[in-house]
């Protein structure tokens, strides 16, 4: 493992750090939009007074806090970059490959380095038809194992959102809707599925996390942060597009870890890249909330220690 000196200094000084995943760079967006998005995410976090740490594997080395040239490297389609989930870590490291980390793998890396906050686009979840395929993302189980707060625009709308929430509830994972009591559906503000808990301010999220830590409750927290109204897709419109993409996926026989990248790419093609723009905006929105919460958390923590 190699930790960027700026990230390491922040962690040692108990300063706010926000992690960013790398699958969105290598598998989630086309080049060079992926580079632009990754750098903009880092800029947003830095401008709000936090340190950004984009995490990936390059030549078998887990890097916590990529520099700009490393972001460019994993973003370039000329380079073979493996999509890395929990199970893939030892294989990719042993083979000295390049790897882009999914939500679950990023949460693992955060736990290893004590990074408490992580901004992404949408988490993985239970795929449609999972009752027969058992296709459930490793992201969900990771919430029971890594003490990280993840900021996400819900789960990707290509998934079975009702079953995804049910799984998280069954596993005892706290899901908080930010200024909403309805679970967001990635491209759209609402899936129509009711959430049990809603929070209104970053400071309240920070207080909840601090109380969770005091009680030594294991696992992560999911902050469901809906895309801003101005960028939100009409639900019926995007549902039709997703249905069309899913049908094509079935015809082509795309399965496993290639499912999400294929569907995101296909949705972008059908919408004339409008979905790509929306994807970028929702990620930026999550970066802002993650950075605001991280600052509140460390300010509250410092205050409590001084008391």
Catalytic annotation, pick one of 72, 116, 142, 156: 156
The structure tokens listed for 253 are: 């026989």
> Which of the 8 DSSP states describes residue 229?
G
Q: Is 21 noted as a catalytic residue in this protein?
A: yes
Residues in contact with 118: Cβ distance below 8 Å, sequence separation at least 6, in sequence order? 18, 19, 20, 21, 103, 106, 107, 110, 148, 149, 150, 151, 290
Residues 287, 279, 11: CA angle, nearest 5 degrees: 25
Q: Is 131 noted as a catalytic residue in this protein?
A: no
Residues in contact with 135: Cβ distance below 8 Å, sequence separation at least 6, in sequence order? 126, 127, 129, 256, 259
Q: Is residue 188 helix, strand or coil? A: strand
Catalytic annotation, pick one of 21, 42, 72, 266: 21
d(CA 154, CA 136): 15
d(CA 294, CA 288): 10
Residues tagged active-site: 21, 156
């Amino acid at each position: 493992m190699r930790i960027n000196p700026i990230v390491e200094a922040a962690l040692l000084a108990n300063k706010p750090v926000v992690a960013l995943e790398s699958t969105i760079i290598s598998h989630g967006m086309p080049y060079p939009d992926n580079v632009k998005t990754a750098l903009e995410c880092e800029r947003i976090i830095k401008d709000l007074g936090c340190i950004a740490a984009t995490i990936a594997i390059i030549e078998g080395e887990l890097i916590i806090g990529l520099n700009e040239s490393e972001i460019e490297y994993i973003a370039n389609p000329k380079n073979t970059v493996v999509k890395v989930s929990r199970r893939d870590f030892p294989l990719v490291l042993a083979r000295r490959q390049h790897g882009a980390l999914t939500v679950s793998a990023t949460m693992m890396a955060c736990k290893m380095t004590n990074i408490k906050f992580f901004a992404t686009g949408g988490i993985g979840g239970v795929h449609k038809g999972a009752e027969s395929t058992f296709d459930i993302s490793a992201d969900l189980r990771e919430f029971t194992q890594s003490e990280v707060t993840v900021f996400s625009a819900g789960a990707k709308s290509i998934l079975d959102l009702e079953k995804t929430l049910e799984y998280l509830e069954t596993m005892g994972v706290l899901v908080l809707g930010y200024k909403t009591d309805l679970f967001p559906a990635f491209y759209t503000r609402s899936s129509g599925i009711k959430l049990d808990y809603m929070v209104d301010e970053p400071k309240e999220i920070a207080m909840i996390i601090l109380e969770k830590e005091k009680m030594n409750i294991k696992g992560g927290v999911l902050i469901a942060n809906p895309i801003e109204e101005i960028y939100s897709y009409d639900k019926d419109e995007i549902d039709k597009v997703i249905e069309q993409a899913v049908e094509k996926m079935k015809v082509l026989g795309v399965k496993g870890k290639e499912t999400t990248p294929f569907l995101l790419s296909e949705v972008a093609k059908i919408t004339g890249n409008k979905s790509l723009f929306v994807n970028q905006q929702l990620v930026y929105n999550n970066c802002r909330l993650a950075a605001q919460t991280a600052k509140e958390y460390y300010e509250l923590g410092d205050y409590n220690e001084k008391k």
